[in-house]
């Protein structure tokens, strides 16, 4: 879009400066005089009842100030449903003492039978984690069905049917900053909480409700956040810190250790997918059936509501999808970057590849033959507008043609879809007396949104970027913002900002017409000035107008802007095709991922450098979940609860990345943008499985693929 | 037993005396006693590199060094990189999008500085090898490499 | 972590006197700190060896050995000119070890003496036999990283990359005890579960490993260290192989083959060495050697892949050795 001078440009993030100097403040950097440190005691058993808690030895340790247990706090239950569940907490004068005291608290447990596998948990004789919503199966947390047409007919029409079971493991978001929070009551009883969180206002509402306090007496401040990816959307340690702060009268800080993150945060859920896909000889899909079972651990948490958001890539006239979430005695999952989508994409895109292979058809041609386009129906029956699936497949095809074929190599293709949310978004825009602009937002800046908002204001007002000062402020000061995530932040906040800056321009033009013989509708902005479009006046600098207004009857120029949508999701369809190239060592069988290219419809890239960064980060996380990562359990206890054995990609594991931005403007998105924060991760496990199949002939169906590969190719097949 | 003792540390050229218990790590002393919170704790087990500092000229994880073991030594942290202007490596990270959330960035900057000190003209593979002890979850590493290679080029041209 | 006394002796003799109940040696600390954080090690006293003059030195001595002080860091060893000149095999092993940051602190002695990485051993919820409890939880459990050789009631693998490489170079260790010291071949230093279920090497509580000595390798020796791990950096080996081969004309006169990551001790495969000596390194012989290396493997439920990895690695290493002889390389 060349009519923009700042939008669509690679602009560095202003918040990068304090981050590279070490001045940026993250929650654990905050300290207060007299601050206490919290520590938590956790159950080593997956299913148990607490018989007794003996805190006497901990109480005697100098520096211990308060101890909470199921006896004196409703924060802790005597019923344990997963290993790692919190059973007690305490506050002490320094972190070492706090940890030592925690190890001195003695808990007596009575253990019960537990169940860890979701399929096992569904059977009628499985131990009950929680009451089931199903008459047929135990431990069912939720069930939905999507269907269309008639399955029997669809399968009968087919010449080939492919049936497989896929398993996706539980993956932790592994943000580099563990959860941290500080809670402090002031003398008047008002609470302030600093926390590493994606949504300040959610925390405020929850804490106010928990304490029976009015919302305005709770202030939540989100300092810089060290990564989240969906894993920091809900309260985790804040209630404990708050109660300890209340009892002790001192500020309390609690920081989760990396080990605690792995055993009691909210990772992406594991999922088992049985799927049957059918097609005619000519490659037309006729039917698909799937039973999808998300493992939701000990409480509702698995995101099961996004099926329509991520599927519906192909015209399938007959389908039935049963989506379950099932309780097990394990930690409670949450959202991880396009919640629920990666699991489904892994299964369904492996299926498509398998089918295409059985029919001897090229994987791209097979997909193109069935790909949805404008006018086709989504899974839930809405109608697609102009979308980018075919375009992304075409571009992928061109790239594959250019790849040199070498021995021991394989190329894979996979597609994916996502839709971004909008969520309530608000900004306050103030024109300062020197013509600079302050923008106050309540949305936590996860992905560089504040940079983009500055670009929008600068562009719309035609003033230079360094005149715009965007700040995320806390719940006392900033307008309400829904949590940052869901690929919604830039979308929603840009809409709100666009509304605000256009209102500001209107107000400026109103005011300017009092100082120039021009009517308000005849004005525009250029080079930092308000000027009439017809050039009949040289115009007045915005800086002048701002100064005059401030000291006149008009008063300071301040506006607000809002955006929301009653349905949370925007009608913004994001399609991606990824291509992966892998190499297999002929002696050891080791797989090296050489390159992953991503052809993603971004609508319009307000800041291509930031958009690429999101895509590149998403691909490597997808490589992580698909190829290297997975929580390993024994009797519900996480064995690999550290970054040595939970293997996130290192610098040497990241392949060459080629992010290609396709721009098919969204109908309602500001400047035509679509969300970019989430989708790229979704496709990568599938594209890697397909590339490995191309290189080795082996279809891997279980993540992490590196281990499935070892046990499938190198194990029973033995001879490398 | 009160095992606290005084230790001397020179941090970013400034001398400090700190009174520490043996079990406290160099990371704790930097962040808590000296208020230098630029060095971060990501894991506490030497796996993530967020706590990377340069100790007597060597790149190390501050979470794996007892403060007492660092007695008499010199430490460089991210706070010491900029003088009256940003260090070329810091500039390059900003210009090339080599950071997003920024929590791993101080560690990467120290590793990059250490790498370029001993190898002013690294290949891409040498950059990846030199940064192998630093984990990033946001960027996918690509723009970090670009930033380091760009910084290397700028620094060579300056000399 | 509980508090402790921290003492820095100036001599080995002083250090030896300080050893006793509740005392542990601190070298680099990269393994010990982790164990202390988890409550696996609870020393009341740490004896910091980093103050002892000369204990980190690397030098060659007139009898032809290279002597490496046990406190030499892995980086220092990798950067030493004598090592680059005579022992490129060591450099290959060191480059595959951990990260730059850890190599700058971790010591050679600490690397050889590091405790097992078995996740049941490291986790407080599993009181296994190695922690004076009962049983091995890996048996019948999550055993994918465990031993295919040499297991007996305990199936840990030795995690070191350096150890197989040093063993392939016929290294010896010097062990100091009160008033005296002894030299032990590295092949006799490590202890498998048949001989002890609580120690991984022969050091008693009253001994300190002070040096590692390596003889000058035979003329025209070719050595390499190859490793497969899940990630391309920092991971411990799924399997690894250290080989050192020397020829006279086309005949192999010297062969050392040591496997890593597959047994509770670095696994020297003498039967393969014997097969290779006295003959050419032909493709057929290499294949037979690979089969021989694994014919007494006893994989567990989920680690059979290690058998294939060992064969593949050994094949790769021996072919590389063959090619180097053809090229006339050292």
Q: Give the gyration radius of chain B's Cα atoms.
A: 16
- Does A718 score more than 60 pLDDT? no
* Chain A: closest CA distance from residue B130 (Å): 9
Compute φ and ψ for C213, nearest 5 degrees: -115, 140
Chain A residue numbers with beta carbons less than 8 Å from the beta carbon of C144 are 707, 710-711
Compute φ and ψ for A268, nearest 5 degrees: -65, 140
CATH number for the domain including B147?
A: 1.10.150.120
pLDDT tens digits, residue range A35-84?
999 999 999 999 999 999 999 999 999 999 999 999 999 999 999 999 99
- Residues C165 and C241 occupy one common structural domain: no
C305 to A590: CB separation less than 8 angstroms, yes or no? no
What mean pLDDT comes out for the span B27-54? 98
pLDDT at residue C62, as a whole number: 74
Name the 3-class secondary structure at A529.
strand
CATH number for the domain including C5?
A: 3.30.43.10
Spatial separation of the C-alpha atoms in residues C78 and C235, rounded to whole Å: 18
Edge to edge, what strands does the sheet with A437-441 contain? A468-472, A437-441, A425-431, A558-563
Spatial separation of the C-alpha atoms in residues A376 and A384, rounded to whole Å: 6
Are the beta carbons of A219 and A475 closer than 8 angstroms? yes
Helix (H) / strand (E) element for C203: namely none
Active-site residue, A663 included: no
- Residues B69 and B111 occupy one common structural domain: no
Nearest to C253 by CA among C242, C265, C244: C244
- Residues B17 and B66 occupy one common structural domain: yes
- Does A719 score more than 70 pLDDT? no
Q: How many CA atoms lie within 13 A of C87 on its CB side?
A: 30
Two tokens, residue B138: 């946001």
pLDDT tens digits, residue range C83-115?
998 899 999 999 999 999 999 999 999 999 999
* A440, C95, C98 from A474: Cα distances, Å: 10, 47, 41
pTM, entire model: 0.97
pLDDT tens digits, residue range A77-117?
999 999 999 999 999 999 999 999 999 999 999 999 999 99
Nearest to A424 by CA among A441, A403, A404: A441
Put residue A319 in one of left, alpha, beta given phi > 0 → left and psi -120 to 50 → alpha.
Answer: beta
B58 to C104: CB separation less than 8 angstroms, yes or no? yes
Are the beta carbons of A218 and A204 closer than 8 angstroms? yes
- Residues C93 and C181 occupy one common structural domain: yes
- Does A567 score more than 80 pLDDT? no
B46 to C2: CB separation less than 8 angstroms, yes or no? no
Nearest to A288 by CA among A369, A379, A365, A380: A379
Put residue C63 in one of left, alpha, beta given phi > 0 → left and psi -120 to 50 → alpha.
Answer: alpha
Residue carrying the six token digits 């250490």? B114
Spatial separation of the C-alpha atoms in residues C110 and C107, rounded to whole Å: 5
Tell me how far apart the terminal alpha carbons of chain A are, to the nearest angstrom.
Answer: 53
C144 to A707: CB separation less than 8 angstroms, yes or no? yes
Angle among Cα A666, A672, A676 to the nearest 5 degrees reads 80
What mean pLDDT comes out for the span A186-198? 97
Spatial separation of the C-alpha atoms in residues A414 and A689, rounded to whole Å: 9
* Final residue of a structural domain among B80, B113, B140: B80
Two tokens, residue A101: 């005291």
Chain A residue numbers with beta carbons less than 8 Å from the beta carbon of C301 are none
- Residues C104 and C167 occupy one common structural domain: yes
pLDDT at residue A413, as a whole number: 98
pLDDT tens digits, residue range C133-174?
999 999 999 999 999 999 999 999 999 999 999 999 999 999
- Residues C94 and C188 occupy one common structural domain: yes
Are the beta carbons of B2 and B31 closer than 8 angstroms? no
- Residues B118 and B75 occupy one common structural domain: no
- Residues C305 and C258 occupy one common structural domain: yes
Spatial separation of the C-alpha atoms in residues A361 and A364, rounded to whole Å: 8
Are the beta carbons of A110 and A117 closer than 8 angstroms? no
Range of the domain at B74: 5-80
- Residues B76 and B35 occupy one common structural domain: yes
Residue carrying the six token digits 């995320």? A472
Q: Grade residue A460 by pLDDT with cuts at 50, 70 and 90.
A: very high
Two tokens, residue B144: 């970090």
- Residues C198 and C311 occupy one common structural domain: no
pLDDT at residue A704, as a whole number: 97
Chain B residue numbers with beta carbons less than 8 Å from the beta carbon of C28 are 64
Compute φ and ψ for C255, nearest 5 degrees: -145, 130
Is position C156 within any domain?
no
In this structure, which topology does domain A35-112 adopt according to CATH?
A: Aldehyde Oxidoreductase; domain 3 (3.90.1170)
Helix (H) / strand (E) element for A239: namely helix A238-248
Residue A647 forms contact with C (CB below 8 Å) = yes
Compute φ and ψ for A584, nearest 5 degrees: -115, 130
Beta strands in A283-422 (DSSP E): 285-295, 318-326, 409-421
The total number of structural domains in chain C stands at 3
- Does C330 score more than 50 pLDDT? no
- Residues B40 and B58 occupy one common structural domain: yes
pLDDT at residue A708, as a whole number: 94
Residue A14 forms contact with C (CB below 8 Å) = no
Are the beta carbons of A488 and A666 closer than 8 angstroms? no
Spatial separation of the C-alpha atoms in residues A6 and A15, rounded to whole Å: 18
Contacts of A156 (CB under 8 A, 6+ apart): none
Mutate to test the interface with C, among B41, B44, B60, B68 (most CBs of C within 10 A): B60
Edge to edge, what strands does the sheet with A36-42 contain? A64-68, A86-92, A36-42, A252-255, A180-185, A191-195, A218-221
Same-fold call for A271-421+567-714 versus A423-563: yes
**Does the interface ipTM go beyond 0.95?**
yes
Compute φ and ψ for C242, nearest 5 degrees: -115, 125
Residue C1 forms contact with B (CB below 8 Å) = yes
- Residues C193 and C63 occupy one common structural domain: yes
pLDDT at residue B1, as a whole number: 46
- Residues B62 and B101 occupy one common structural domain: no
Name the 3-class secondary structure at B99.
coil
Q: Cβ–Cβ contacts within 10 Å for residue A711, how many?
A: 18
CATH architecture of A423-563: 2-Layer Sandwich (3.30)
Name the 3-class secondary structure at A627.
helix
Q: Grade residue C217 by pLDDT with cuts at 50, 70 and 90.
A: confident
- Does A1 score more than 60 pLDDT? no
pLDDT at residue C223, as a whole number: 95
Chain B residue numbers with beta carbons less than 8 Å from the beta carbon of C105 are 58, 60-61, 64-65
Nearest to A491 by CA among A369, A355, A673, A264: A673
Beta strands in A422-485 (DSSP E): 425-431, 437-441, 468-472
* Final residue of a structural domain among B53, B80, B107: B80
- Residues C208 and C72 occupy one common structural domain: yes
Put residue A279 in one of left, alpha, beta given phi > 0 → left and psi -120 to 50 → alpha.
Answer: beta
Chain A residue numbers with beta carbons less than 8 Å from the beta carbon of C125 are 44, 83, 637
Spatial separation of the C-alpha atoms in residues A585 and C8, rounded to whole Å: 48
Tell me how far apart the terminal alpha carbons of chain B are, to the nearest angstrom.
Answer: 54
Give residue limits of the domains in chain A. Answer: 35-112, 271-421+567-714, 423-563
* Strands A36-42 and A86-92, sheet pairing: antiparallel
A620 to B95: CB separation less than 8 angstroms, yes or no? no
The b/e string for A555-581 (b: 16+ C-beta within 10 A; e otherwise) is eebebebebbbeeebbbbbbbbbbbbb
* Final residue of a structural domain among C214, C246, C280: C214
Spatial separation of the C-alpha atoms in residues A65 and A91, rounded to whole Å: 6
pLDDT at residue C309, as a whole number: 96
CATH number for the domain including C167?
A: 3.30.465.10
Beta strands in A602-697 (DSSP E): 633-634, 637-638, 656-662
Are the beta carbons of A125 and A114 closer than 8 angstroms? no
Spatial separation of the C-alpha atoms in residues C1 and C35, rounded to whole Å: 10
Identified catalytic residue from A177, A288, A678, A702? A678
pLDDT at residue A693, as a whole number: 97
Are the beta carbons of A37 and A95 closer than 8 angstroms? yes
Residue C252 forms contact with A (CB below 8 Å) = no
- Does C54 score more than 90 pLDDT? yes
Two tokens, residue A40: 């938590």
CATH number for the domain including B58?
A: 3.10.20.30
Residues composing chain A = 720
The H-assigned helical ranges of chain C are 12-18, 32-37, 74-79, 81-86, 88-95, 100-103, 108-113, 119-122, 162-168, 270-276, 283-294, 305-327
pLDDT at residue A581, as a whole number: 98
In this structure, which topology does domain A271-421+567-714 adopt according to CATH?
A: Aldehyde Oxidoreductase; domain 4 (3.30.365)
* Final residue of a structural domain among B32, B58, B80: B80
Percent pLDDT > 90 in chain C is 90
Tell me the longest C-alpha to C-alpha distance in chain B.
56
pLDDT tens digits, residue range C8-46?
999 999 999 999 989 999 999 999 999 999 889 999 999
Q: Give the gyration radius of chain A's Cα atoms.
A: 27
The b/e string for C24-44 (b: 16+ C-beta within 10 A; e otherwise) is bbbbbbbbbbbbbbeeebebe
The total number of structural domains in chain B stands at 2
pLDDT at residue A716, as a whole number: 53
Q: Is the peptide bond before A678 cis (omega within 30 degrees of 0)?
A: no
- Residues B10 and B37 occupy one common structural domain: yes
C100 to B65: CB separation less than 8 angstroms, yes or no? no
Average pLDDT of every residue of chain A: 95
- Residues B121 and B145 occupy one common structural domain: yes
Range of the domain at C90: 54-113+161-214
pLDDT at residue A2, as a whole number: 54
* Final residue of a structural domain among C185, C214, C243: C214
Q: Cβ–Cβ contacts within 10 Å for residue A113, how many?
A: 10
């Amino acid at each position: 879009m060349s009519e923009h001078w700042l939008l669509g440009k690679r602009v560095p993030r202003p918040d990068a400066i304090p981050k590279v100097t070490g001045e940026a403040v993250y929650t654990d950097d905050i300290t207060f005089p007299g601050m206490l440190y919290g520590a938590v005691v956790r159950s080593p058993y997956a299913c148990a009842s607490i018989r007794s808690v003996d805190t006497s030895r901990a109480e005697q340790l100098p520096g211990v100030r308060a101890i909470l247990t199921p006896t004196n706090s409703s924060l802790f239950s005597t019923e344990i449903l997963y290993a790692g569940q919190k059973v007690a907490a305490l506050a002490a004068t320094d972190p070492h003492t706090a940890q030592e005291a925690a190890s001195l608290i003695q808990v007596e447990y009575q253990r019960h039978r537990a169940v860890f596998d979701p399929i096992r948990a569904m059977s009628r004789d499985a131990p009950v984690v929680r009451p089931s919503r199903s008459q047929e199966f135990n431990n069912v947390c939720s069930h939905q069905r999507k269907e269309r047409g008639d399955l029997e007919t669809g399968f009968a029409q087919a010449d080939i049917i492919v049936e497989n079971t896929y398993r996706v493991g539980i993956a932790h978001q592994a943000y580099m900053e563990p959860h941290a929070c500080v809670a402090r009551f002031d003398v008047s009883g008002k609470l302030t909480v600093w926390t590493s969180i994606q949504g300040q206002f959610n925390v405020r509402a929850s804490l106010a409700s928990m304490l029976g306090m009015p919302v305005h007496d709770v202030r939540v401040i989100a300092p810089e956040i060290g990564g989240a990816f969906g894993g920091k959307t809900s309260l985790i340690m804040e209630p404990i810190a708050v109660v300890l702060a209340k009892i002790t009268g001192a500020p309390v800080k609690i920081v989760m250790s990396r080990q605690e993150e792995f055993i009691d945060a909210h990772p992406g859920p594991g999922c088992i997918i049985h799927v049957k896909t059918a097609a005619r000889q000519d490659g037309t899909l006729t039917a698909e059936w799937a039973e999808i079972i998300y493992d939701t651990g000990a409480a509702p948490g698995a995101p099961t509501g996004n099926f329509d958001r991520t599927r519906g890539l192909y015209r399938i006239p007959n389908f039935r999808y049963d989506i379950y979430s099932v309780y097990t005695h394990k930690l409670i999952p949450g959202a991880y970057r396009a919640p629920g989508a990666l699991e489904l994409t892994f299964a369904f895109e492996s299926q498509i590849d398998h089918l295409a292979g059985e029919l001897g058809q090229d994987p791209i041609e097979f997909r193109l033959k069935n790909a949805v386009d404008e006018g086709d129906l989504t899974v839930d029956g809405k109608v697609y507008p102009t979308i980018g699936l075919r375009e992304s497949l075409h571009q992928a095809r061109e790239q594959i043609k250019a790849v040199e074929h070498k021995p021991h190599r394989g190329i894979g293709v996979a597609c994916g879809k996502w839709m971004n949310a909008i969520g309530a978004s608000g900004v306050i825009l103030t024109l300062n007396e020197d013509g600079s602009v302050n923008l106050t937002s309540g949305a936590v800046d996860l992905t560089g949104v504040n940079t983009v908002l500055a670009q929008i204001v600068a562009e719309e007002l035609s003033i230079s970027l360094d005149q715009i000062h965007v700040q995320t402020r806390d719940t006392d000061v900033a307008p309400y913002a829904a949590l940052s995530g869901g690929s919604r932040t830039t979308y929603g906040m840009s809409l709100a900002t666009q509304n605000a800056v256009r209102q500001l321009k209107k107000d400026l033009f109103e005011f300017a017409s009092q100082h120039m013989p021009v009517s308000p509708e005849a004005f525009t902005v250029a080079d930092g000035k308000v000027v009439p479009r017809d050039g009949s006046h040289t115009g007045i600098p915005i800086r002048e107008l701002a100064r005059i207004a401030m000291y006149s009857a008009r008063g300071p120029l301040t506006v607000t802007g809002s955006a929301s949508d009653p349905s949370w999701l925007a009608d913004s369809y994001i399609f991606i095709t990824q291509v992966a190239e892998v190499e297999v060592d002929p002696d050891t069988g080791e797989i090296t991922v050489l390159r992953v290219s991503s052809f993603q419809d971004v609508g319009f890239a307000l800041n291509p450098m930031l958009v690429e960064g999101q895509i590149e980060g998403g691909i490597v996380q997808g490589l992580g979940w698909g190829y290297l990562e997975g929580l390993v359990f024994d009797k519900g206890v996480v064995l690999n609860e550290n970054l040595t054995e939970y293997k996130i990609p290192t610098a040497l594991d990241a392949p060459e990345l080629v992010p290609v931005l396709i721009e098919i403007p969204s109908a309602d998105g500001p400047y035509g943008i679509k969300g970019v924060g989430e989708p790229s991760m979704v496709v990568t496990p599938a594209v890697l499985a397909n590339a490995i199949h191309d290189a080795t002939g082996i279809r891997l169906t279980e993540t992490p693929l590196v281990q499935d590969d070892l046990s499938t190719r190198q194990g029973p097949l033995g001879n490398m | 037993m009160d095992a606290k003792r005084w230790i001397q540390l020179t941090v970013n050229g400034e001398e400090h005396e700190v009174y520490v218990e043996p079990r406290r790590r160099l990371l704790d002393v930097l962040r808590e006693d000296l208020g230098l919170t630029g060095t971060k704790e990501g894991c506490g087990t030497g796996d993530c590199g967020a706590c990377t500092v340069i100790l007597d000229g060597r790149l190390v994880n501050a979470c794996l060094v007892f403060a007492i073991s660092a007695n008499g030594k010199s430490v460089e942290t991210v706070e010491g990189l900029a003088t009256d202007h940003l260090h070329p490596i810091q500039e390059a990270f900003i210009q090339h999008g080599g950071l997003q959330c920024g929590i791993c960035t101080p560690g990467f900057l120290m590793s990059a500085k250490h790498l370029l000190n001993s190898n002013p003209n690294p290949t891409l593979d040498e950059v990846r090898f030199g940064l192998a002890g630093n984990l990033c979850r946001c960027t996918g590493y690509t723009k970090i490499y670009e930033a380091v290679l760009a910084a290397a080029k700028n620094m060579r041209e300056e000399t | 972590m509980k508090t402790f006394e921290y003492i820095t002796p100036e001599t080995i003799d002083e250090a030896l006197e300080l050893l006793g109940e509740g005392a542990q040696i601190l070298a680099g600390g990269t393994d010990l700190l982790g164990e202390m954080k988890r409550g696996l090690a609870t020393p009341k006293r740490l004896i910091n060896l980093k103050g002892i003059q000369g204990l980190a030195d690397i030098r060659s001595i007139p009898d032809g050995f290279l002597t490496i002080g046990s406190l030499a860091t892995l980086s220092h060893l990798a950067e030493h000119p004598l090592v680059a000149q005579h022992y490129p095999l060591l450099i290959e092993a060191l480059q595959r070890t951990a990260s730059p940051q850890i190599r700058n602190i971790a010591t050679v002695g600490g690397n050889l003496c590091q405790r097992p990485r078995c996740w049941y051993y490291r986790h407080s919820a599993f009181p296994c036999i190695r922690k004076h409890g009962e049983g091995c939880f890996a048996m019948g459990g999550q055993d994918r990283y465990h031993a295919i050789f040499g297991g007996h009631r305990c199936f840990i693998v030795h995690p070191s990359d350096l150890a197989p490489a040093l063993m392939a170079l016929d290294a010896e260790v010097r062990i100091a005890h009160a008033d005296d010291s002894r030299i032990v071949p590295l092949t006799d230093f490590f202890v498998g579960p048949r001989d002890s279920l609580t120690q991984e090497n022969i050091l008693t509580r009253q001994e300190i490993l002070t040096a590692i000595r390596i003889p000058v390798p035979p003329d025209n020796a070719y050595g390499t260290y190859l490793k497969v791990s899940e990630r391309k950096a920092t991971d411990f080996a799924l399997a690894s192989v250290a080989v050192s081969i020397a020829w006279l004309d086309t005949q192999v006169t010297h062969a050392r083959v040591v496997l890593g990551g597959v047994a509770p001790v670095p696994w020297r495969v003498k039967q393969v060495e014997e097969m290779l000596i006295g003959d050419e390194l032909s493709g057929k012989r290499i294949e037979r050697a690979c089969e021989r290396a694994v014919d007494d493997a006893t994989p567990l439920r989920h680690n059979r892949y290690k058998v294939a990895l060992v064969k593949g690695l050994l094949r790769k290493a021996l072919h590389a050795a063959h090619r180097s002889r053809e090229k006339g390389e050292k």
